Every structure is written in structure tokens, then in C-alpha cells.
Amino acid sequence: MVDGCAVKVVDADRVSAVRERMPAAEDVTDTADVFGLLADPNRLRLLVALLDGELCVCDLAAVTGQSESAVSHALRLLRAHRIVAARRSGRMAYYRLEDPHVRMLLDVALAHTEHTEAIHPERDGRS
């Protein structure tokens, strides 16, 4: 709860209040990591495809239009973070969305996809 820097501060009260509410550094980076896993269109498509239930690798590749190698690499990453889990049956591997937290984020994000979304910064973001 010590300070650390605070060279020039305008509203010192707000600053220390916000500092209080700020999650621990580790929590912030973990959350950023999760967002990072959702930040790739191909990975995002994989997860959206898994919202309704498990699918095998080749079907995931077909649905998302990626090479099976790319899908495998992506799933490996997601699996390493326990966002996705695999069930094996013979030579097939069926993947499912395992992390309810991520499912919730996807639901929120997709719900807004239909209505709003999309601001492509043409030049700048001034009013």
C-alpha cells in the first residue's frame, strides 16, 4: 500500500482511491492474457464454434476455414490455459469449451455483435 512514484498528481484523492480498487498486478496480467487468447479471429471462431458443443479438429478446421495444423496449434494454446478440453476417441480428438468464464465473455461480446460493434479508426478518434 506504499506509494512508489507519483511524480505529478492532480487529483491525489482519486488517484489513491483508484489505486485501492486496482486488482493485483498478477490478476491484471492474467485477465489481459485471457483477453489476448480471444483477440485472434481464428481462435475466436474456434471458440464460437464450440459454444454449442464439442467438435473434432477436422470439423473445426472446416467450420473456421483454417488449416488443420493452424487449428491444432490454436487448440494447443487454448488447452494450455484450460479454456478448452479434449476428449479422445480413437484417432479423433473432440474439443469442448471448458472455461465458463470465457463462455460468459463470449456471450457478452456476441450479444453486442448483432446490434452495435465496429468502429474502424479511419484516421483518428477525436470528436
Partner DNA sequence: TGTACATATGAACACCTCTTCAGATGAAGG
Partner DNA sequence: CCTTCATCTGAAGAGGTGTTCATATGTACA
**Which spans of this chain sit near DNA (rule: CB under 7 A)?**
8, 36, 39-43, 56-58, 66-70, 72-77, 86, 89-93, 124
For the segment 1-30, give every residue that binds a copy of itself (CB under 8 A): 4-11, 14-15, 17-19, 21-23, 25-30
Q: Is 41 in the site for a copy of itself (CB under 8 A)?
A: yes
Strands (E), 14-69: 55-56
- As measured in angstroms, the least distance from the Cβ of 115 to DNA is 25
Q: Are 94 and 56 in contact (CB under 8 A)?
A: yes
Buried b (16+ CB within 10 A) or exposed e, 47-71: bbbbeeebbbbeebbeebebeeeeb
In the sheet that 92-97 helps form, which strands lie side by side, from edge to edge?
55-56, 92-97, 84-89
Lay out the site mask for a copy of itself across 85-104 (x = CB under 8 A, - = otherwise). xx-----x--------x--x
Beta bridge partners of 17: none
Closer Cβ to DNA, 82 or 111, answer by number: 82
104 binds, among a copy of itself, DNA, none (CB under 5 to 8 A by kind): a copy of itself
For the segment 45-74, give every residue that binds a copy of itself (CB under 8 A): 45, 48-49, 51-53, 55-56, 58-59, 62-63, 65
CA distance 31 to 39: 12
